[in-house]
Structure 1
Amino acid sequence: MAVITAPDKTPTTSTPRRSRRRVPALLLNLIALVVGVAAWALIASAQLADVPGPLSVSSRALDLIEDGTLVDDALASLRRVFLGFALGTLLAVPVGFLMGWYPLARGLLEPYVQFFRTIPPLAIIPLAIVLMGIGETPKVFVIFLAAFLSCVVAAFQGVVGVDSTLINAARVLGAPDRVIFLKVVIPAATPFLLVGMRIGLGSAWATVVAAELIAADKGLGYEMTHAQTYYDIPTIFVGLITIGVIGLVMDRLLLLAERRLTGWQERR
Structure 2
Amino acid sequence: MSQSVSPAPGLPGSRKGLLTEQQLRSRQRLARIGLGSLVPILVLALWQVLGDLGIISSLLFPTPLRIAQAAVRLAQTGELGDNLKISVLRALGGFALGASLGLAFGILVGLFRQTERALDPTVQMIRMVPHLAIAPLFILWFGIGETSKVLLIAKGAFFPLYINAYMGIRGVDNRLFDVTRVLGFSRWKQIMRLIIPAALPNILLGVRISLGVSWLGLVVAELMGSTAGIGYLMSDARQFSKTPIVFVGILIFASFGILSDALVRLLERKWLSWRDSYQGR
TM-score (norm 1): 0.88
Select 1:233's aligned residue among 205, 221, 243: 243
Match of 2:253 in 1: 243
Q: Which runs of 4+ in 1 moved over 6 A?
A: none
Amino acid at match of 2:33: L
Q: Does residue 222 of the first structure (1) align with residue 221 of the second (2)?
A: no
Q: Does residue 189 of the first structure (1) align with residue 199 of the second (2)?
A: yes
Amino acid at match of 1:190: L
Amino acid at match of 2:45: A
Q: Distance in 2 between matches of 1:36 and 1:101?
A: 48
Amino acid at match of 1:131: W
Match of 2:9 in 1: none
Shift of 1:190: 0.8
Q: Distance in 1 between matches of 2:201 and 2:114?
A: 25
Q: Does residue 208 of the first structure (1) align with residue 218 of the second (2)?
A: yes
Q: Distance in 2 between matches of 1:244 and 1:223?
A: 16
Shift of 1:172: 2.2
Select 2:48's aligned residue among 28, 41, 49: 41
Select 2:39's aligned residue among 28, 32, 42: 32
Q: Does residue 53 of the first structure (1) align with residue 63 of the second (2)?
A: yes
Amino acid at match of 2:238: Q
Shift of 1:43: 4.0
- Tell me if structure 1 keeps the 8 A contact 2:131–2:220: no
* Residues 63-100 of structure 1: CA deviation (Å, up to 9, x unaligned): 00000111111111111000000111111111101101
- Unpaired runs of 5+ in structure 2? 1-26
Match of 1:77 in 2: 87
Shift of 1:135: 0.8
Query: Identity over the aligned pairs, expressed in percent?
Result: 35
Amino acid at match of 1:208: L
- Unpaired runs of 5+ in structure 1? 1-20
Q: Does residue 110 of the first structure (1) align with residue 86 of the second (2)?
A: no
Match of 1:265 in 2: 275
2:225 alignment partner, SS class: coil
* Residues 160-192 of structure 1: CA deviation (Å, up to 9, x unaligned): 111112112221222232221110110011110
Match of 1:256 in 2: 266
- Tell me if structure 1 keeps the 8 A contact 2:160–2:207: yes
Match of 1:180 in 2: 190
Please give the residue correspondences for 1:129-140 in structure 2 after superposition, counting only pairs within 5 Å: 129-140=139-150
* Residues 89-140 of structure 1: CA deviation (Å, up to 9, x unaligned): 1111111011011001111110111101111123211111121112100000
Q: Distance in 1 between matches of 2:123 and 2:140?
A: 23
Match of 1:3 in 2: none
Match of 1:10 in 2: none
RMSD between superposed Cα atoms in Å: 1.7
Q: Distance in 2 between matches of 1:48 and 1:200?
A: 36
Amino acid at match of 2:205: V
TM-score (norm 2): 0.84
